[in-house]
Protein backbone atom coordinates (compact mmCIF):
# COMPACT_ATOMS: atom_id res chain seq x y z
CA UNK A 1 0.00 0.00 0.00
CA UNK A 2 1.30 3.41 -0.88
CA UNK A 3 0.40 6.86 0.34
CA UNK A 4 -1.96 7.47 -2.57
CA UNK A 5 -4.12 4.58 -1.41
CA UNK A 6 -4.01 5.49 2.28
CA UNK A 7 -4.56 9.24 1.80
CA UNK A 8 -8.35 9.25 1.26
CA UNK A 9 -8.89 6.97 4.25
CA UNK A 10 -6.78 9.23 6.46
CA UNK A 11 -8.65 12.33 5.30
CA UNK A 12 -11.95 10.66 6.15
CA UNK A 13 -10.67 9.50 9.54
CA UNK A 14 -9.36 12.94 10.51
CA UNK A 15 -12.51 14.69 9.34
CA UNK A 16 -14.70 12.40 11.42
CA UNK A 17 -12.35 12.64 14.41
CA UNK A 18 -12.26 16.45 14.38
CA UNK A 19 -16.04 16.74 13.99
CA UNK A 20 -16.54 14.42 16.98
CA UNK A 21 -13.99 16.37 19.00
CA UNK A 22 -15.72 19.66 18.15
CA UNK A 23 -19.14 18.27 19.12
CA UNK A 24 -17.70 16.95 22.40
CA UNK A 25 -16.14 20.29 23.31
CA UNK A 26 -19.31 22.14 22.37
CA UNK A 27 -21.40 19.74 24.44
CA UNK A 28 -19.09 20.21 27.43
CA UNK A 29 -19.23 23.99 27.15
CA UNK A 30 -23.02 24.09 26.87
CA UNK A 31 -23.81 21.43 29.49
CA UNK A 32 -26.07 23.02 32.15
CA UNK A 33 -24.01 21.60 35.04
CA UNK A 34 -20.93 23.60 33.95
CA UNK A 35 -22.69 26.96 33.90
CA UNK A 36 -21.69 28.00 37.44
CA UNK A 37 -18.03 27.15 36.81
CA UNK A 38 -17.92 29.17 33.59
CA UNK A 39 -19.80 32.09 35.15
CA UNK A 40 -17.30 32.20 38.01
CA UNK A 41 -14.38 32.08 35.57
CA UNK A 42 -15.88 34.90 33.51
CA UNK A 43 -15.91 37.17 36.57
CA UNK A 44 -12.20 36.71 37.40
CA UNK A 45 -10.99 39.69 35.30
CA UNK A 46 -13.48 41.96 37.12
CA UNK A 47 -12.12 41.15 40.60
CA UNK A 48 -9.68 43.63 42.10
CA UNK A 49 -6.83 41.18 42.57
CA UNK A 50 -7.67 38.89 39.65
CA UNK A 51 -8.25 35.88 41.89
CA UNK A 52 -11.25 33.58 42.18
CA UNK A 53 -13.59 33.97 45.09
Which residues 6+ apart lie within 8 Å of 50 measured at CB?
A: 44
Query: Up-side HSE of residue 27: CA atoms within 13 Å toward CB?
Result: 6
Whole-number Å distance between alpha carbons of 14 and 11: 5
Question: Using 50, 70 and 90 to split pLDDT, how confident is the model at 52?
Answer: low
- Whether 49 shows a pLDDT value over 80: the answer reads no
Long-range CB contact pairs, 11-16, < 8 A, 24+? none
pLDDT tens digit sequence for 11-31:
999 999 999 999 999 999 999
Q: What is the pLDDT of residue 45?
A: 86
Q: What is the pLDDT of residue 46?
A: 87
- Positive or negative: CA dihedral 39, 40, 45, 47: positive
Question: Using 50, 70 and 90 to split pLDDT, how confident is the model at 33?
Answer: very high
Amino acid sequence: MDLAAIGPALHTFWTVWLVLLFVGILGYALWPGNRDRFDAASRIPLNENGQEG
